[in-house]
Chain A
Amino acid sequence: MSIKKMGTCTFVLLILISTIITYEETLSANGSITYVYVQPHEQTINVLGENFTVNINVKYALDLYGYEFKLYYNSTILKGINVTEGPFLKQKGQTFFYIVAFNDNYNSTHGILWIDSCLIGDTFGADGDGTLATITFKSLKQGYSLISLDSVELVDSRKNPIQNQVIDGTVTIIPEFTTTFQIITLFITAATLCIIHLFYRKQKKRT
């Protein structure tokens, strides 16, 4: 490997490491703010047509009675399949989970998930960390999608807003080569090498 290539690889690695460190530090920096974040933060899917899940989690919640969020995703590479309520609010009692919108056609490139959910009755909210919702997507084609949270509102049992910070996630679809594709590629490579070898031998004989 050339020095130039090694340098490029090191640079890419450093960027990846610093991204992970920044993400961890953001979550641990301030306990007084509640975080709503996509988990896993980064996800790579190797198979096309495969279903996979993304959680919307909350961290450092205090008296969380209800929440609302919109989530946008690249619908040219992901298809929204399903959404289910997470266990976080349910631990405090009966809940109301309402999907306002979930479709792949928010615009020509993006899909939307819009959820409103709250506890029911005269009760206090939930504290701590947990999962608010789990979304299932299907990988459609190779590419990259931001899983972007927007208009996140958290409300306590006294109908006051809870300050929050949002951390988005990403999904990368990189399909692995199938066995058939690998055999064909191997065969073509071997055949090409043979042809080159024969060509050089012929050239050598002539000289």
Chain B
Amino acid sequence: MKKAVVEGIVLSLMLGLLLLSTPAHAISDFYAAEVQLSGNMKLQWYYNETSESYELNVTKSFLAMVPTDISEGEYNASFEGYADVEQNTIEFYGIVQTENGEFKVDFEVANEWPQIPSGKCIATGQVHLTIQKSELPSIQYTWVHVAGRVTSYGLNSSLGWLTAHARLSETENITRAHVCWTPYFLSSKPLQNQANFTFTFYAATLINTTAVQLNYNSYDLYITGLWTVINVTFNYYGEDFEQYEEYKSINIQNATGELKVYSGWQDFTVSISGFNDVGGKVVFSRISSLRVSECDVNYDGHVNIEDLVHVAKRIGSTPGCVMGSFDLSNFTEFASVDFNFDFKIDIYDLVSVATEIEA
């Protein structure tokens, strides 16, 4: 009996110690708040062993996500971060540290100091904060992610890819859509003894969305707006085609066009004025009330180290050449990791994933 009591006490003590050692900030939640900030900010540029600095008095109200550890009220805080100085505005972004914790802020003030050099610099300051819970209306978002493989251009067979992301709500719709296609059918691999392999494709980007709708008429997804289309040519050469030259030229700007997904999210068509219809098969589609990230490249619902490694392994890839394998039929694999649509996988695509990984 005594032994059981002693064991119980020891276990309770161990559990207590474990709970005490867990950092409080690891379990903190956030609330939306209106933050009023006022105080002196010091902007510093470094030149070799010397530095140049400017002190500004800043007052600004903005919205921020504040940890629940920091309740509503007034605080003295320190700011550490950066200032991006432009001709008319100065944007501050960084972290404010109060006695109860810290949180990220991002706000912009009018540039009333013409003597300050433009560019990005270190910003620090001692500020006074007034934090008040914000009565933000709860907005219901719907996230849509579609990826597809182009199979036809007009009556011709074609190779290419489609990626589309949309965030839909009652108040605003945010859409990104890209489609690339070859104007005629190409052999997916170069012929034997071919010295170089050149191909051209069209690359269209939705630049201004007019309407986005789910279940519109007979379409599962319907997006209409203005598109810019460019011609892209890749010329691969050298042993194993490991070297390439790339040429881009604008074909048309602000052309009206629409993306339609139909047949139960099986098929899609992109119709842009001045071009034949681009048709294809949907290879992935997802609709969710939770955020769908395009950086979730293995489609497991999370952005994590696996997605980062997936992109890292494809660094150096270009359309037609993924991980050293030269094959135009792997267009869709390439497109799934080219987040900035610049036709090469590099540090920008890697950073796109890395910034989305939750600590």
Interface residues of A (CB under 8 A from B): 27-28, 30-32, 60, 62-63, 65-68, 93-94, 96, 98, 100-101, 114, 116, 118-124, 127, 153, 155-157, 159, 161
The complex places the Cα of A45 from the Cα of B340 at a distance, in Å, of 44
Residues from chain A with Cβ under 8 Å of B351 in the complex:
65-66, 118, 155, 159
| Category for how many chain B residues contact A | 20 to 34
Closest to A101 in B: B316
Residues from chain A with Cβ under 8 Å of B104 in the complex:
122
- Cβ B48 vs Cβ A119 within 8 A: no
A69 to chain B, nearest CB (A): 9
The complex places the Cα of A192 from the Cα of B357 at a distance, in Å, of 75
- Cβ A114 vs Cβ B316 within 8 A: yes
Closest to A159 in B: B351
Interface residues of B (CB under 8 A from A): 45-49, 51, 81-82, 94-95, 104, 117, 119-122, 305, 308, 312, 315-316, 340, 346-348, 350-352, 354-355, 357-359
Contact (A68, B347) CB under 8 Å given A100-B316, A120-B308: yes
Number of interchain pairs (Cβ within 8 Å): 92
- Cβ A121 vs Cβ B119 within 8 A: no
- Cβ A119 vs Cβ B354 within 8 A: yes
Cβ-neighbour of A31 out of B46, B305, B358, B359 (below 8 A)? B46
- Cβ A116 vs Cβ B312 within 8 A: yes
- Cβ B46 vs Cβ A66 within 8 A: no
- Cβ A120 vs Cβ B82 within 8 A: no
B123 to chain A, nearest CB (A): 11
- Cβ A123 vs Cβ B359 within 8 A: yes
- Cβ A120 vs Cβ B357 within 8 A: yes
Going nearest first, the 8 A-B pairs with the smallest beta carbon separation are: A31-B47, A68-B347, A28-B48, A121-B359, A98-B312, A66-B351, A118-B354, A155-B351
A114 to chain B, nearest CB (A): 7
- Cβ A124 vs Cβ B94 within 8 A: yes
- A to B CB contacts below 8 Å, 24 in the list: A31-B48, A32-B117, A32-B119, A62-B121, A66-B351, A68-B347, A68-B350, A96-B308, A96-B312, A98-B315, A98-B350, A116-B347, A118-B347, A118-B354, A122-B355, A124-B82, A124-B95, A153-B346, A153-B347, A153-B348, A155-B347, A156-B120, A159-B348, A159-B351
